[in-house]
Structure 1
């Protein structure tokens, strides 16, 4: 009898095991939603300015050809290869960030201290992007203006957070949001 009650107690006192593959799937979905949201943001801005796909062209040029080629960004010749290449790298980065954030949220379900890690991850990436662009790709900031990039990043981060809560429907995250 004691063995049965012991197994009953241990079954209910063990911490919940987080399914890592599910977390990474959620991270990929959230990252894809974030990347798509940012791409749509810049597509709208580019359309309003009358320069379709200007932003991914500038960023692709800076990434693959170096920021020194952006001395006159208005004179850039359109290259589908640069736009598609940058879009792929952009998605990869967002997918990786989504997976890292999802994994941290999974760890936060067991230890609340990891919740701060998610916030810290966001702050580091946000300011790291603007700071890195300032140090290494200043012509990009002049071509695109940093406020539009900052606003776009905030919108995409919000979309990723909403996808984690609403689209993916993780019950533990919903409970954490109510606290």
Structure 2
């Protein structure tokens, strides 16, 4: 053992540790990159323009505004795309070895938001093109959230983190548990109500389709509404997330109000002001 240290040879335990971190990181990066690529393939195909996203991003990287870049530039972008995610996977794999973490899916959401910020600022700084605005921020955000969760879930199942389930996280924190449950119940009630309303009018899923069209496609009239998987599912995901976040804040306020009852009045005033602001928009 002394001889191998003197000659600069990496100890077997250290070598095995590094190979595990690298292997898990590479695998997680590939999975995350594939999830994001498939997401945009679905989005582009639903709009009748398959491979629009890789064409656009490849053109932005090469300073070309053409939407028909050919196979070469798209392959170059694909290489850069996977290489970037492998770097993300390697960094995440190394961090998880040294940091005690909560549920990997929750941490994956954080990673997704971080990636969204990097895409926004990085695209402007490197290419001068706001890729987020061009592709649509809801699509970019949703794709990066999915990719972030895919990266962390892959690291979780390959042994980078100790097994921590959603239920353990929820059971350990009453505010989180109550917020998630309250949010899911609220989201379900509203969704079922509008589904029944749309069915009675002979237009199933029109409401989520209309809201999804406004968010994802920029539709501003009824005639421009597109009811398809992208608009309905995309808006539904945002709908559930919004209610869960709202439920979390409501649960936090109610819990804090046990020690400071006036917070209840403040919460009522806050939600009333928020509703008035939303209606004014």
Contact 2:29 2:85 in 1 (8 A): yes
**Does the CA contact (< 8 Å) of 1:30 and 1:95 recur in 2?**
yes
Shift of 1:150: 1.3
Larger relative contact order (CA 8 Å, sep ≥ 6): 1
TM-score w.r.t. length of structure 1: 0.70
> How far 1:174 sits from its partner (Å)?
1.1
Let me know the Cα RMSD of the aligned residues.
Answer: 2.9
Distance 1:76 1:172, change over 3 A: closer
Kindly tell me the number of residue pairs found equivalent between the two proteins: 148
Does 2:173 correspond to 1:173? no
Deviation at 1:62, TM superposition (A): 0.8
Q: Distance in 2 between matches of 1:171 and 1:76?
A: 40
Question: Unpaired segments of 5 or more residues in structure 2?
Answer: 1-12, 170-281
Counterpart residue number, 1:159: 150
After TM superposition, the structure 1 stretch with the greater mean CA deviation from structure 2, 32-41 or 131-140, is 131-140
- 1:39-78 to structure 2, matched below 5 A, reads 39-63=37-61, 65-66=62-63, 69-70=64-65, 76-78=67-69
User: How do residues 1-179 of structure 1 correspond to structure 2 at under 5 angstroms?
Assistant: 19-63=17-61, 65-66=62-63, 69-70=64-65, 76-108=67-99, 122=111, 124-135=114-125, 136-166=127-157, 168=158, 170=159, 172-174=161-163, 178=168
Q: Which runs of 4+ in 1 moved over 6 A?
A: none
Contact 1:20–1:103 (Cα < 8 Å) also in 2: no
Question: Shift in Å at residue 45 of structure 1?
Answer: 0.7
Quote the Cα distance in structure 2 between the aligned partners of 1:39 and 1:26: 20
User: Contact 1:98–1:160 (CA<8 Å) still a contact in 2?
Assistant: yes
**Contact preservation (8 Å) 1:23, 1:102:** yes
